[in-house]
A and B are shown apart, each in its own frame.
Chain A
Amino acid sequence: MASSRRPASAPDPASAPDPGPGAAAEPGQGPKVTVSLREMCMKFRSKSALDGLTLDVKSGEIFGVVGPNGSGKTTLLRCICRALIPTAGSVTVLGRDIGDYSNKEFAGVISALLPQWPSGFSMKAYEIILMGCRNRSGGIWWDSPAEYHSVYEVLNLLHAEDLAERDFETLSSGEQRKVLLAKSLVQQTDIVLLDEPVAFLDLKHKLEVMEVLKYLADRGKTVITSLHELDLASKYCHNIIVLKGGRVVTAGKPREVITTDLLREVYEVEAEVRWDDTCNYPIIIPKLPANGSGNGKDGIKFTGSSYGYGKTSERRDLCPNAKARAG
C-alpha cells in the first residue's frame, strides 16, 4: 500500500528534516505513554458529554475511538487537542499537563484533523497544506523552499500530488479530507489526532489513509483516531475504546472488543461477527435492529400514513421476517 510503494531510503516526511530532542521514540526503546487521561469529564452546560474517562495511549500505537453517533468521540479528541477545556480531570501529553503548553509548543506536539468547513475563499490545496509548517517556519513573508519540499513529500506519501495545484473549494469532500490530513502530517508532530479520517472516502482511499496511519505508528508516532468503520478499526488499531453516552463501554484489543454482544448493546444492531484469521479482519454481517430499539418491538417500523404512504394508519413491517426470527 502506501508505504510499500515508497523507496526504503526515502526520508520520513513526518519526522523530516531532523527529529530533534523529544521526537518519536527511538527503536530499541519500549513504547512509552504519550497521552494519558485521568477521570476526565466534559460538560456542556448541564449535559454531560464525557464522564470520567481514564486511559493511556502509547507511542507507536494506533488507538481507535469507536461508538455510535453522539457518543462523545469528537468531544474526546477535541479535549485532547485543547479545542475544548475539560470540566474535570486531567489530560497529560508527554508527561506535561496540556494546560502548561504554549500554543506554539503544543502545535509542535499534537496535530489534529478535525472537521472543517470551507472558508468561502479560494486557496490552492498546497497553500492550505503549507499552513501546517507555520510552527517551524522562519520567514516573514514567504514560506521557505524546505517547507514546500515537505508539502511535496507528504502529498507523495498520500498519493495526492495531483491535488496540489487544485483550488481547495472545488475539491470533492474526500479530496478535501486528504488535503487536511496532509496539513496535519506536515506539522510533523509525535501525536496525531484524527476525527474520522476516512469519512467520505471510497474504499481504496480509505485503505490508503489507514496504511498511512500504520506507517506513522510504525515510526513511533502516537495515532489517535475516531472511526465509524469497525472493520477498518479492527484491522489497523492496536487498541480501541468503545464509547456510548460519554462513558467507556469497553476497551482493549479489537478482537476481544468487537463482538456480537457489543454490537447489540452499543449500536443496537443484531449482527454476526466472523473473523478472517489470515488477515485479522472481521466480517460484520448485520441482520436487523435488535430487540428494544424503536417501538419496543422487533424490526424497523413506520406508520404508513404519517409519511404520506398508505391510506390508513396501518403499520407496515419493513422486515416481516423479524417477527418470525424473534419468535
Chain B
Amino acid sequence: MEAVLKRKKIRLLLYVTVLSFLLCALFIFSIMTGSMSLAPRQVVGALLGMEPDSTITSVVTAYRVPRILFAAFTGLVLGVTGGVMQTLTRNPLADPYITGLSSGAALGAAVALTSAVIPFYAVPVFAFAGGVALLLMALFLAERAGGGALNFILAGLAMGTIANAILIVLITMGGEGSHGILYWVFGSFSATTWVDLRTSFLIAAPFLLLLFLKARDLNIMIFGEEHARQLGVNAKALWYLLVVSLSVAVSACVSFCGTVGFIGLVAPHMVRLVVGSDNRFILPLSGLTGSLLLMAADDLVRNPVNPIFEMPIGSMTALIGVPFFIYLLIRRGKTHGL
C-alpha cells in the first residue's frame, strides 16, 4: 500500500509539472497575439526590459500582461472553487455560482452601471457586495429550511432567480446603461489593469489557500455531512467556512471581469475524468486547467482581424469547453462500458 502512496505523489507532481509548463507556454503565446502580433523575441525582450521599441514594451507590460494574468488567475479561482462546490453539494452539475452569487454580482454591477451618481470605477465594489449579499441570503434561507446541501442549492436557485428578474427589469429600463450591463454579464478582460489584478489577488489568495488546506477533509464530505461528522470533522463549520471562502474568492475575481461562466463546471470534470475524484488532485489540477481554458478563451476573444469587435468571454469559454467536455464524456463511457 505504501507503493500506492508513492505512485500518487509522483502522478500529482507529473500532472502539475506538465500543466504548469503548458501554462507558461500559453502565457508567452497569449502575449504574442492580439491586434498587434509580436514575435517571441520581442515578448521576452519586453518582459525583461530589453526591448528597444518602447511602444512594444508598454503594450506588453501595461496592457497585455495584466490582462492575461488576470484571466489566468480567474481561471485558477474558478477551477478550484468549482471542484470544491461540486464536492460540497455532492452535485456534479454544481459550479461556484450555484449560490446565486453570479446573479447577485451582476445585479450589483447593473445597479452601479445604470445609476447616474456611481462612478464607473466603483462597479466592482457593487458587484462584489451584490455577490456576497446574495450568498448570505441564500445561506440564511437554507438554514431556516433546515440546512443541508439540497436546501442550499434550492435557496441559491431562488435568490438567483429573483436577482435575475430584477436584472432584466434594469436592462429593459436601462437605456444607455443596458449595453454596459450585458457586456458585464458576459464578461470581458479588456479593461483589466494592474490595480485590478493586485486587488483581486490580495482578496482571493488567502481564501484560496484555505481551500487547499482543507482538501483532505473535503474528500470526507463526499458522503455528506453526517458521515464527515462521524469521522471527526466539524462538518457544519467546515461547510460554512468553505462555502464562504470560495464565494469571496470568486467574487473578488468576477467583480472585475464579469461572470465568466462554464469554467467552474467544466474544469473540475475534465480533471475528474482523468484522475478520479480525490480532491488533492482535483484542486490543483482543476485550477491549472481553468487557467489554461480561460487564457485560451481570452486569446480567441482578442480578435486580431477585427480588434473593435470583441466576443464576450463567456460565450467563448462555452464554445471551446463544451466540445472537449463531450469528447471526454464519450471516452469515459467507452472505457467504463457505460
Contacts and interface: CB of A to CB of B under 8 A. Distances in A.
A108 B9 CA distance: 28
A135 B217 CA distance: 10
Interface in A120-158: 120-124, 126-127, 131-132, 134-135, 137, 139-143, 145, 148-149, 151-152
Residue from B91, B222, B336 having most chain A Cβ neighbours under 10 A: B222
A29 interface: no
A243 interface: no
Contacts of A110: 230
B218 to A, nearest CB: 11
B141 interface: no
A123 B278 contact: yes
Given A123-B276, A141-B280, A170-B336, A149 B222 contact: no
A149 B2 contact: yes
Interface stretch (A2-10, A111-119, A195-203, A289-297): A111-119
A170 B276 CA distance: 13
B220 A134 contact: yes
A302 interface: no
Interface in B81-98: 86-87, 90-92
User: Range of interface residues on chain A?
Assistant: 35 or more
A104 interface: yes
Interface of A: 81-83, 103-104, 106-108, 110-112, 114, 116, 119-124, 126-127, 131-132, 134-135, 137, 139-143, 145, 148-149, 151-152, 164-165, 167, 170, 187
Q: Which 10 pairs from chain A and chain B are nearest by CB?
A: A107-B232, A121-B277, A148-B1, A152-B1, A135-B232, A104-B232, A119-B222, A145-B2, A134-B231, A131-B220
14 contacts: A81-B230, A83-B230, A103-B235, A108-B232, A111-B230, A120-B92, A121-B92, A123-B277, A124-B276, A134-B220, A135-B232, A145-B5, A148-B1, A164-B1
Interface of B: 1-2, 4-5, 8-9, 86-87, 90-92, 213, 215-217, 219-220, 222-223, 226-227, 229-235, 272, 276-278, 280, 336
Given A103-B233, A131-B219, A148-B5, 16 more contacts: A82-B230, A103-B234, A112-B230, A119-B277, A121-B87, A121-B277, A122-B276, A123-B276, A127-B219, A140-B213, A141-B280, A142-B8, A143-B216, A148-B1, A148-B2, A164-B1
